[in-house]
Amino acid sequence: MANYYQPEIETMPYDQLRQLQNERLVKQVRHVWDNVPYYRKKMEEKGLTPEDIQSVDDLHKLPFLTKADLRDAYPYGLMGKPKSECVRIHSTSGTTGKRVMAFYTQHDIDLWEDCCARAIVAAGGTKEDVLHVSYGYGLFTGGMGLHGGGHKVGCLTLPMSSGNTDRQLQFMEDLGSTILCCTPSYAAYLAESIHERGLQDKIHLKAGIFGAEAWSEDMRRDIENKLGIKAYDIFGLTELSGPGVSFECEEQTGMHINEDHFIAEIIDPDTGEVLPEGTKGELVFTSLTKEAFPLLRYRTRDICVLSRKKCSCGRTFVKMAKPMGRSDDMLIIRGVNVFPSQIETVLMQQGYAANYQIIVDRVNNSDTFEVMVEMTPDMFSDSLAKVARAEKELVGALKSMLGIAAKVKLVAPKSITRSEGKAVRVIDKRKI
């Protein structure tokens, strides 16, 4: 049984979908050429005009946009509409450098909210649901995106925003929230708090829509078990609109990309060459319908795989695997690529809390790599030898997952700050 918000689009036969993409791409390239001098210049440098792009098959000819371009063009340089026609700005947290500013016309917001509505309906949401939105509201896209989606579906939408856990739980209990939207780390934190307070029987959640952070399959199972829900992944980028670029269906085997609005490509991050379906590489998006911030071939830095295998939910949209991690999140430690999500996977498998902090520093020109892990009752004992053995096992498991040795620092339970928004997992003190 499948739940669709816009069935005619979500299950559109592939040929038809491709035709729609072709038409929209041609129109979008023309829009960008006419309105975004920054990108027009890039096209001209490659000797391209809009006539060179007749269909999706020509997409590979277009130049890429990167985060560096967004920085260069900051703040208004990539805008596709005059300010007078734009109605909203959202922005990234800026944790990995300069903030990214994204602009929206009313039409852009409308389509974005449709995308979020599809995700909510795919997670089983209907107008009977109480949608508890604990993503941050404000510049961050999470809160207002799911909020708008909730309105479209007709859910009773609770604009909780993040933080104030006591109030979150009180509302959940009193109002009978049925669908929770927040970051996975905050979901885990809320689940923990519910158990601590013995509120399991008073909370009636059935589903969760969690995104904006990398999270592992083990963490998903843990949250599902603790909250008694089905947890759906959602993906998005502020640059492209926000959450809802892709979303999971009940099969939970990847996120369907809203292909009527976005074309996804996988490229070799080193050569820029487009890779065939099923190959791992960097995810690149072209926005087909955005007016105010129309990015073409935007390199996400996310490492990912696409699959067009038929999905049991009936959607024809291509599915993207959970990104391995954003290459922005990726750390290069002693020359080895390390994703925080890999560390999380090891911790969950070894029975630790998924709350951890990675501290990287450089001492005498050599990287130091420390993982702070909270002690759990299972591994604590009156015997230091036993504790040391458990610690050694963890060090071994990390080493076999990552390929380099990490120093594990066991700390008291609950001593690593619980996140109410996006978790701070990495502290990189290296000054390079």
Partner 1 sequence: MNIYQISVFLENKAGKLAEVTKLLADSNVDIRAISIAETAEYGLARLIVDDAPKASSILLQHGDMISMTPVWAVEVPDRPGGLYELLTALAEAHVNVEYMYSLFTHREGCAYMVMRIADEPKFLSTLGDRGIKLMTMEELGLK
What is the per-residue DSSP string for 165-217? HHHHHHHHHHHT--EEEE-HHHHHHHHHHHHHTT-GGG----EEEEESS---H
Q: Which of 7, 413 has the CB closer to partner 1?
A: 413
409 binds partner 1 (CB under 8 A): yes
Residue 325: its H or E element = strand 325-326
CA distances 42 to 38, 158, 205, Å, are 7, 44, 49
CA distances 208 to 15, 205, 233, 239, 423, Å, are 33, 8, 8, 24, 18
Binding segment toward partner 1, per CB under 8 A, in 85-93, 98-106, 225-233, 404-412 = 404-412
**If we measure between CA atoms, which residue out of 56, 69, 63 comes closest to residue 272?**
63
412 binds partner 1 (CB under 8 A): yes
414 binds partner 1 (CB under 8 A): yes
Interface map 119-148 toward partner 1 (x if CB under 8 A)? ------------------------------
74 binds partner 1 (CB under 8 A): no
The dihedral formed by the CA atoms of 297, 300, 303 and 306, expressed in degrees to the nearest 10: -50
Q: Which residues pair with 283 in a beta bridge?
A: 266
Binding residue for partner 1, selected from 388, 405, 424, 427, defined by CB under 8 A: 388
Binding residue for partner 1, selected from 1, 363, 384, 432, defined by CB under 8 A: 384
Q: Which of 363, 412 has the CB closer to partner 1?
A: 412
382 binds partner 1 (CB under 8 A): yes
Binding segment toward partner 1, per CB under 8 A, in 5-13, 35-43, 238-246, 369-377 = 369-377
411 binds partner 1 (CB under 8 A): yes
Q: Which of 366, 383 has the CB closer to partner 1?
A: 383
Q: Which of 309, 386 has the CB closer to partner 1?
A: 386
381 binds partner 1 (CB under 8 A): yes
Residue 285 DSSP code: E
Q: Which of 167, 414 has the CB closer to partner 1?
A: 414
Q: Which of 381, 417 has the CB closer to partner 1?
A: 381
Binding segment toward partner 1, per CB under 8 A, in 6-14, 32-40, 310-318, 412-420 = 412-420
Binding segment toward partner 1, per CB under 8 A, in 137-145, 233-241, 375-383, 421-429 = 375-383
Binding residue for partner 1, selected from 84, 366, 383, 400, defined by CB under 8 A: 383
Helix axes 106-122, 141-153, angle to 10 degrees: 70
How many residues bind partner 1, per CB under 8 A?
A: 17
415 binds partner 1 (CB under 8 A): yes
Question: Cis (ω within 30 of 0) for the bond into 75?
Answer: yes
What is the per-residue DSSP string for 290-304? -SSS--SSEEEEEEE
Q: How far is the CB of 418 from partner 1 (least distance, A)?
A: 12
410 binds partner 1 (CB under 8 A): yes
Binding segment toward partner 1, per CB under 8 A, in 301-309, 323-331, 407-415, 424-432 = 407-415
**If we measure between CA atoms, which residue out of 169, 226, 206 comes closest to residue 354?**
226
399, two tokens: 């080493």
Q: Which of 318, 375 has the CB closer to partner 1?
A: 375
Binding segment toward partner 1, per CB under 8 A, in 13-21, 179-187, 217-225, 410-418 = 410-418
137 CB-near residues (< 8 Å, 6+ apart): 143, 144, 147, 159, 161
Residue 264 DSSP code: E
How far apart, in whole angstroms, are the C-alpha atoms of residue 140 and residue 89? 10
Binding residue for partner 1, selected from 13, 276, 335, 377, defined by CB under 8 A: 377
Q: Compute the chain's Rg from CA coordinates.
A: 22
The dihedral formed by the CA atoms of 7, 13, 15 and 17, expressed in degrees to the nearest 10: 20
How far apart, in whole angstroms, are the C-alpha atoms of residue 111 and residue 387? 54
Binding segment toward partner 1, per CB under 8 A, in 21-29, 91-99, 231-239, 413-421 = 413-421
Q: Which of 47, 377 has the CB closer to partner 1?
A: 377
364 binds partner 1 (CB under 8 A): no
**Which residues are near partner 1 by CB under 8 A?**
375-377, 380-384, 387-388, 409-415
